[in-house]
Structure 1
Amino acid sequence: MRALSSSSCAAVRALHPSNPSFSFARFVSSARNINFFLSPSPQLSRSHFSPNGDSRFCVVVVMRSLCSMPSPHMFDLNESVYYCSEVGDGGGGGLAEEDAKASIPVRAFFFSTSIDLRGLTDQNKANLIGCPRRDNKANFISPSSRMSNYVVLRFGDANSNSFGMGGGLSGSNCCYMVVFQYGSVVLFNILDHEVDGYLKIVERHASGFLLEMRKDEYEVRENPALQTWMQGGLDYIMLQNLNIDGIRIIGSVLGQSIALDYYVRQVDGMVAEFTDINRGMEKTGTFTMERKKLFQLVGKANTNLAYVILKLGIFERSDIAWKDAKYVQIWEYLRDEFELTQRFSTLYSKLKFVEHNSRFLQEILQNQKSDFLEWLIIILLGAEIVIFVFDIAHKSI
């Protein structure tokens, strides 16, 4: 009750315009049993919150029984009275507006199997972000580092985003692009109509373009009042603030996820092809396949496995996660959220199926070749016998 402000009283008095002298304190003291509780009623939507952004809570006052009160002030029995009480300092926008402002869109793309990071950085040196040190100065990535497979580029007004002073990315015109050597590109705080322009910057240095670009979307929300370092949700993660290290961690997991999705689909295609071959063998009892095509499938399977393990670094932890324990939380949560370990296990199981079938088919091809050589030897021996017999018969004449 002590938290109720004068605006709360005014809200209750508004319910009885017939008596402007109605006192909220008198109303409360006259009731023997008043229940205050937060109402889950759909009537209390975000429209009941103050448009100027004051933090408010809505309460339902339910009158169970009343003392004698003058009839002009009387409330009906069990009547619910809705009022809002201010508890904030009046700063910022409304709840919906604040959520929209704190939301940072994240988009991951995979459209090629290789990107020339050296050429990309040479043409975008002004936008290049180094690996931050404890003194907040740029320390550019060395070739021996595990982080040498990607670069971070910043666009927009860098002064509007003071990461080193605890500031966040939301609400600024600063945007970031994380580009990975294996072909993934992750964009932070970039609007839909601006995406193509930023991707074209990378396309000039990409090779091995895919027939269809893969895309995934995610969301980061900033909440400086968050009690814990991070909090997960459905298709979003909430942080106290998103800084450069957070961008690196989130970008690395999303980049691996979108690339892994492509290789999973590649392996699914090989599994479907071997399934069709097995179905044909089941119906006809014969197997016809060129050795060259089989070797191509085997090579493709081995290449996909090598790309996932070596280039994607699916089992390598980021340097940032090694140095700071709080980023391990984000790294482990996102890996679990995108099910990287489970998806790799599924991919590996499918590759084992491909390996088993390819080995079986290789044995069939080898047996077919052995049968052919055996028949060729038999034919040559038969021809030699025929020639020998013919020579003997010719001499006897």
Structure 2
Amino acid sequence: MNLLSLYLSHPLTTATVEYALDITLSRGVENGYYGKSDTLHVVLAPFGVLTLIAEGKKEILDALSLLRVSLDAPGLITQDYPILIDSELPTLFKVTNNEIILREASTLNLNIIALAISQSVGLEHYEKRLDTLFLQSRRIVESIHTFSISRRAHLMQFAKRLALTRHDMVSNLLLLDKPNILWDNEDAENLYTRLAFILELNDRHETALSKLSQIKEDVLLVMDIINHKKSEFLEWIIIILIAVEIVMGIIEFIR
């Protein structure tokens, strides 16, 4: 079996997927949706990642064509994984860096695999967004000596983007807590835990949050400097007004 997971620049609705692929989507793991036909297993994650599982690559490419999703789109984030079925496997599953081997391809197992790969794809999307924010943060710090009060609005907008990125990462990717279904199924929990380890989901998530904290510190530093400049500017205005008042008082006294 072949698995392909991709981040959708324009999220698909469940109705669009059902109509295009002629399948019915049901509520799956962690607010996601899944559906299957004789040749295709589809999982639509709530954070904009679509995962397709099929026996051959042709079925996946045909489904993407029906959904009008092109693999040649610039900046498209995808991950693929081969899934092998071995009924004689001594354990329920075996996961390596190169393949996933299952004793049986149950709907739950495929949904758990799709969730983990989807989280990896979604995390890669945020990693690339963070790289862009990190470069912008560096440019802001490098130009700190020329940063004027008039650019305070620009910095506030940057801080807003940073906060929204952090919020989306924590709330959308669902990496801080295991899916609820895992609490009632030890085998599914072990499969998800193994996949999370192989894909380094927790380590990558912590690294991303660390970058966010560093960018936040840079923004706070620049904001402190701008506020200091603003205070100096106001102090000089007060000094000038006092000086003008003194001069006018002296002139009035001489008259």
TM-score, structure 1 as length reference: 0.57
3-state SS, counterpart of residue 228 of structure 1: coil
Within the candidate set 152, 155, 160, 1:291 is matched to: 152
- Structure 1 residues 382 and 246, CA, compared in 2 at 3 Å: closer, same or farther? same
Does the Cα contact within 8 Å between 1:128 and 1:151 map onto a contact in 2?
no
1:73-100 deviations in Å (ceiling 9; x for gaps): xxxxxxxxxxxxxxxxxxxxxxxxxxxx
Alpha-carbon separation, structure 1, partners of 2:124 and 2:236: 48
Distance (Å, rounded) in 1 between the aligned partners of 2:178 and 2:90: 26
1:120-199 map, 5 Å: 120=16, 123=19, 127-130=23-26, 147=29, 149-155=31-37, 157=38, 174-189=39-54, 191-195=56-60, 197-199=62-64
1:111·1:212 contact (CA, 8 Å) conserved in 2?
no
Give yes or no for contact 1:230–1:237 (8 Å, CA) kept in 2.
yes
Question: Which secondary structure state, in structure 1, belongs to the residue aligned with residue 177 of structure 2?
Answer: coil
Alpha carbons 1:177, 1:188 under 8 Å: kept:
yes
Aligned equivalents of 1:216, 1:124: Cα separation in 2:
22
**Residue 268 (1) aligns with residue 127 (2):** no
Deviations 1:230-257 (A, max 9, x none): 1122321111121210111001111111
Of the candidates 135, 150, 175, which is equivalent to residue 314 of structure 1? 175
Tell me how large the CA RMSD over aligned residues is.
Answer: 2.6
Matched, 1:245 2:108: yes
Provide closer, same or farther for how the CA distance between residues 332 and 148 of structure 1 changes in structure 2, counting only shifts above 3 A. closer
Alpha-carbon distance in structure 1 between the residues aligned to 2:170 and 2:74: 23
8 Å CA contact 1:153–1:177 kept in 2: the answer is yes
Distance 2:179 2:63 in 1: 25
What code does the residue aligned with 1:241 have? E
Q: What is the aligned partner in structure 2 of residue 375 from structure 1? A: 236
Match of 1:232 among 80, 92, 95: 95
Question: Letter of the aligned partner of 1:247 in structure 2?
Answer: L
Paired residue secondary structure (1:238): strand
Residue 128 of structure 1 aligns with an amino acid whose one-letter code is: T
Distance 2:194 2:200 in 1: 10
Identity fraction in percent: 20
Specify whether residues 124 and 317 from structure 1 end up closer, same or farther in structure 2 by C-alpha distance, changes over 3 A only. Answer: farther
Higher strand share: 1
In structure 2, the partner of 1:353 is 214
Distance 1:341 1:274, change over 3 A: same
Q: Secondary structure at the match of 1:185?
A: strand
Residue 117 of structure 2 corresponds to: 254
Per-residue deviation, 1:184 = 0.4
Secondary structure of the structure 2 residue equivalent to 1:213: coil
- Bigger Rg over Cα: 1
Does the 8 Å CA contact 1:105/1:188 hold for their aligned counterparts? yes
Unaligned runs of 5+ in 1: 1-103, 131-139, 142-146, 158-173, 205-209
Task: Say if 1:113 and 1:267 are closer, same or farther in 2 by CA, change over 3 A.
Answer: farther
Calculate the TM-score normalised by the size of structure 2.
0.87
CA distance in 2, matches of 1:116, 1:338: 27
Give the structure 1 partner of residue 79 of structure 2: 216
- Specify which structure has the higher proportion of helix: 2
- Structure 1 equivalent of residue 2 of structure 2: 105
Cα deviation, residue 107, structure 1: 0.7
Segment drifting more, 178-187 vs 108-117: 108-117
Q: Which runs of no fewer than 5 residues in structure 2 stay unpaired?
A: none
Distance 1:201 1:187 in 2: 13
The 8 Å contact of residues 21 and 63 in structure 2, kept in 1 or not, is answered as: no
1:73 corresponding residue in structure 2: none
- Distance in 2 between residues matched to 1:299 and 1:358, nearest whole Å: 11
User: For the Cα contact (< 8 Å) 1:309–1:315, is it kept in 2?
Assistant: yes
